[in-house]
């Protein structure tokens, strides 16, 4: 597309609607009116109207360009960073933090026709997220243990990965991420018990900070029968091949 004068990056007025209100402000006002939390790991898709995500992309691009300018990077002459603001904005909104801006994956639940009541383990599911403290990558794996009962809904195995991807696609804190995922799976499937273990490398510890390349954070959530029955908990933990 040809621009007559300037690009969206250099012309912030193009971000505003006729009243001059940035789209992020409009979305924020809707969230506040509905008293809906909008922390970094909250999904806000219900408050974004069709077409607004593209405007948000333009707005983040302009602000990201401001960050590069403030870092005294000559994006006009440096061919490597000329399009970096746009690229980073796109990466945040459409890729790595997409789980904030889009509605959850549709998951078809089936009744438990076979009356499955044995421990089922799904994993390892690869997790890609970023910490909300530094926006540094958090990369790891999760294992999900489900103890169904006759009323439990059954969902396809790949759906667990889709749900995990949606939850992890937000700036997260590992402890809160596993709880959010547990709540979501609990709500969709209503099992007797649910266990989740997440093991991840936090690049804010490898790239900066203590610069420890090997440390991993492991945490777990246990619900229902996994809380009450130590044998079941042991069985789950013994079956997940964490060392690999
Ligand atoms: Zn961090």
What global pTM score does this model have? Answer: 0.88
47-to-24, 33, 159 alpha-carbon distances in Å:
11, 11, 25
Distance 145 CA to ligand 1 centre (A): 28
Distance 72 CA to ligand 1 centre (A): 24
Distance 109 CA to ligand 1 centre (A): 36
How far is 146 from 131, CA to CA, in rounded Å?
27
Distance 175 CA to ligand 1 centre (A): 13
Residue 27's nearest CA partner among 93, 126, 115, 112 is 93
Ligand 1 is an ion; residues with CB less than 5 A from it = 131, 133-134, 204
Sequential pLDDT tens for the chain (244 residues): 344 444 444 444 455 555 689 999 999 999 999 999 999 999 999 999 999 999 999 999 999 999 999 999 999 999 999 999 999 999 999 999 999 999 999 888 777 777 777 899 999 999 999 999 999 999 999 999 999 888 888 888 899 999 999 999 999 999 999 999 999 999 998 999 999 999 999 999 888 888 787 889 999 999 999 999 999 999 999 999 865 4
């Amino acid at each position: 597309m040809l621009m007559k004068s300037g690009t969206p990056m250099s012309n912030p007025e193009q971000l505003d609607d006729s009243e001059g209100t940035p789209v992020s402000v409009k979305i924020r006002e809707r969230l506040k009116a509905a008293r809906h939390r909008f922390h970094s790991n909250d999904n806000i898709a219900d408050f974004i109207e069709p077409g607004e995500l593209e405007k948000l992309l333009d707005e983040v691009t302009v602000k990201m360009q401001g960050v590069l300018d403030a870092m005294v990077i000559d994006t006009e002459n440096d061919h490597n960073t000329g399009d970096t603001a746009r690229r980073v904005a796109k990466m945040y909104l459409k890729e790595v933090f997409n789980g904030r801006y889009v509605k959850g994956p549709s998951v078809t639940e089936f009744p438990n026709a076979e009356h499955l009541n044995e421990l089922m383990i799904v994993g390892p599911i690869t997790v890609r997220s970023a910490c909300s403290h530094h926006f540094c990558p958090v990369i790891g794996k999760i294992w999900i243990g489900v103890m169904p009962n006759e009323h439990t809904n059954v969902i396809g195995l790949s759906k667990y990965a889709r749900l995990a991807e949606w939850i992890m696609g937000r700036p997260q804190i590992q402890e809160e991420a596993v709880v959010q995922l547990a709540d979501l799976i609990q709500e969709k499937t209503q099992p007797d018990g649910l266990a989740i273990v997440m093991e991840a490398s936090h690049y804010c510890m490898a790239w900066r900070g203590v610069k420890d390349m090997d440390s991993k954070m492991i945490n777990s959530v246990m619900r229902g029968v996994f809380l009450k029955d130590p044998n079941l908990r042991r069985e789950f933990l013994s079956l997940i091949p964490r060392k690999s």
